[in-house]
Amino acid sequence: MEQSLSLNLGQKLAMTVKLQQAIQILQLSSQDLCATIEKEYMENPALEMDDSLGETEHGEKLTDRYSIEQLSALANYLGDDEKRAKPLKTDIKQSYETISTMQLTLEEDLLEQVNFSFKSDREKSIAVFIVGSTDNCGYLRAPCSEIARATQTTEDEVLAVLRIIQTFEPAGVGARDLRECLMIQAKQQGIYEGLVRAVIEDHLEEVGKAQLKLIAEVENCKPNEVQLAVDIIRTLNPKPGSSYGDGSSDYIVPDVVVRKVDDAYVVMVNDYGIPHLNISSVYRHNTDFDNETKKYIEQRVNSAAWLIKSIDQRRSTLFNVVTEIVKQQREYLEKGPAYLRPLLMRTIADNIEVHESTVSRAVANKYVEMPHGVVALKKFFTANLGNEITGEEFIASQVKNILKEFIEKEDTKKPLSDQQLSEMLKEKNMKISRRTVMKYREQMGYPSSVKRKRY
C-alpha cells in the first residue's frame, strides 16, 4: 500500500458562533429576546443597559467607541465579584410578575374561599382535600368514601362540606358529573324547574345526539319548547374551571404594530420593554494591562458589539418583512380576513433581497398588531388550495369564511348538509370535497346539519 501527501484547495461554508447567535436572535419573540438580553448582560461585564439607542453623546458608532487602551481597570474588576455591575431593576420583569400573580389558579381561588367559609380544622382539612381532588375543569374526581377514609371522617361530613363548596365561585365547581354541574348552576340562577329540569335530569344524552323530537314525545310537549329549554341549558358552563389558568401568565405581546395614518399604513417595531444595550462606560479609563487581560477584554467587547449588532439587524429585518407583507396584503388590511391572498415567503424574500430562510426565521414566534386585531405573522403565509376548474389559488381561510357565510345565512329549519355546502362552493369555482367541508366546519366549531336544526 502506497502512502502519499497532497494539498487540495477548496471552499466551504462554516457557521461561526457569532452567526449562530445572530440567527437565534432573529427568530426570538420580544419576550424571549428580553430574557436573552438579561442573560447576556449577567454574563458579559462589557454590556450595559441604557435608555439610549446605542450611540454616544457625540454619535460615535458602538464598534468605534472604545479601544483596548481605553478600557478601565478590569484586572481588579474580574477578580472581585462584589464590584461587578448589578443588573438594573427594570419595570419589565416586575410588571410580568404582577400580571402572573394576579392570575390565580382554580385551586388557589378555591382555597381562599375555604379559609373564609370554614372555621373548624376538621372541616378545613376535608375542604382542602376536596379542592386538591378537583380537576382543572372544576369537577371532583375522588369518591366521597375515599375522601372520608383519607381524612379520617365520615361520608356525611364530607357531603356536608362538599355542599358548601358547591356554592363557591365559579358556579358549578365541585360537581361530580355534568348533570350535577348543570343542576348546581340552574338552581343558583333559579331556573331549575319545568322542562329545563327534566332535560338536565333525564335527557342530556338525547341532547348530545340532537334527538329533540324524541325528548318532546317523552315529555309530551312541542319540539320548539324543548329547543328553548336546550338553548337555556347551553348558556350554562359545562367546565366551570376552564376560565382559570395554570398560574403562568398567558398573553401576547405584539412584536410589530401596524397603524393606518391617513391613507398609508405605518409599520413600527415594538421595542417597548426591550432593554437598550451599549458598551459599559467602566472601560473608558486608561490603565495598563497585561496581554492576557487585554485579550479577555477585547473578546468581551467584541461579543457585546456583535450582540448589539444582531439585535439591530433583527429589528431591521423584521421591519422590512412586515412592510412588504403590508404592501402585499393591502386588501386584507382594508377589507378583512376574507381578502387574505396567497403569499409565499420566497416572494417576500426576493422583494427585500434576503434569503427565504431569513424570512422564515423573522416571522417565527412573532405577532403583529393590525387595525382589526393581533395576528401571528405566519398566518400570512397560508398553504394554497389548488382550484381544478379555473387554476386560481385559494387559501383555506378564504374557504372557511365563505362556509361561515353560507351557514350563518342558511334556513335554520332546513340547515345545509356538508354535501350541499360542497356543491355551493363548486358554484363559486372552488372544488372542495365533502370531507374537506366537514373538516373546515368542525374546525370553525359548527355542528352537523342535524344538530344545527331549529324547530
How confident is the model over 131-176, as pLDDT tens digits? 999 999 999 999 999 999 999 999 999 999 999 999 999 999 999 9
428 assigned to some structural domain: yes
Q: Report which of 255, 290, 248, 284 is spatially closest to residue 269, judged by C-alpha positions.
A: 255
Q: What are residue 48's DSSP bridge partners?
A: 278
Same domain, 112 and 209: yes
pTM over 0.75: no
Which range, 23-32, 253-262, 338-347, has the best average confidence (pLDDT)?
A: 253-262
- E strands of 188-337, at which residues? 256-261, 264-269, 276-279
10 domain-assigned: no
227 and 161 belong to one structural domain: yes
Q: Are 110 and 231 in the same domain?
A: yes
Same domain membership, residue 76 and residue 149: no
Same-domain check for residues 74 and 195: no
The answer to whether residue 285 sits within a structural domain is: yes
374 confidence band (pLDDT: 50, 70, 90): confident
Q: Are residues 113 and 235 in the same domain?
A: yes
In a domain, 356, yes or no: no
Residues 37 and 110 occupy one common structural domain = no
Residue 147, SS3 per DSSP = helix
- Return the pLDDT at 201: 93
The stretch 292-297 carries a mean pLDDT of: 76
Per-residue confidence (pLDDT) for residue 324, from 0 to 100: 92
Q: Across residues 234-244, what is the average pLDDT?
A: 89
Q: Would you call 442 helix, strand, or coil by DSSP?
A: helix
On whether both 147 and 209 belong to a single domain, the answer is yes
In a shared domain, residues 120 and 224: yes
189 lies in the same domain as 294: no
Q: What is the DSSP string of 332-398?
A: HHHH-GGGPPP--HHHHHHHHTS-HHHHHHHHTT-EEEETTEEEEGGGGSPPEEE-TTT--EEEHHH
- Judgement on whether residues 213 and 125 belong to the same structural domain of the protein: yes
Query: What mean pLDDT do residues 179-188 have?
Result: 94
Q: How many angstroms separate the CA atoms of 418 and 422, rounded?
A: 6
- Give, as one character, the DSSP assignment of residue 259: E
Question: What pLDDT, on a 0 to 100 scale, did the predictor assign at position 379?
Answer: 83
Domain termination site, one of 243, 272, 297: 243
Identify each DSSP E strand in 41-148 by its residue range. Answer: 47-50
Dihedral sign computed on CA atoms, order 170, 174, 178, 184: negative
Q: Are residues 238 and 139 in the same domain?
A: yes
pLDDT by residue (tens digit) across 28-61?
A: 888 888 888 888 888 888 788 765 443 434 344 4
Q: Which three cell numbers stand for residue 271?
A: 421595542
| Within a domain: 230 | yes
How far from 224 is each of 249, 448, 450, CA to CA, in Å?
44, 19, 15
Whether residue 133 is contained in a domain is answered as yes
Q: Are strands 373-376 and 276-279 parallel, antiparallel or unpaired?
A: unpaired
Q: What gap in Å lies between CA 50 and CA 60, rounded to an integer? A: 16
Instruction: Give the per-residue pLDDT at 145.
Output: 93
Tally of domains within the chain: 3
Q: Please give the pLDDT value at position 99.
A: 37
Confirm whether 91 is domain-assigned: no
Residue 400 belongs to what domain range? 384-452
The verdict on residue 433 lying in a domain is yes
CATH code for position 433: 1.10.10.60
Query: 174 is written with which cell numbers?
Result: 365541585
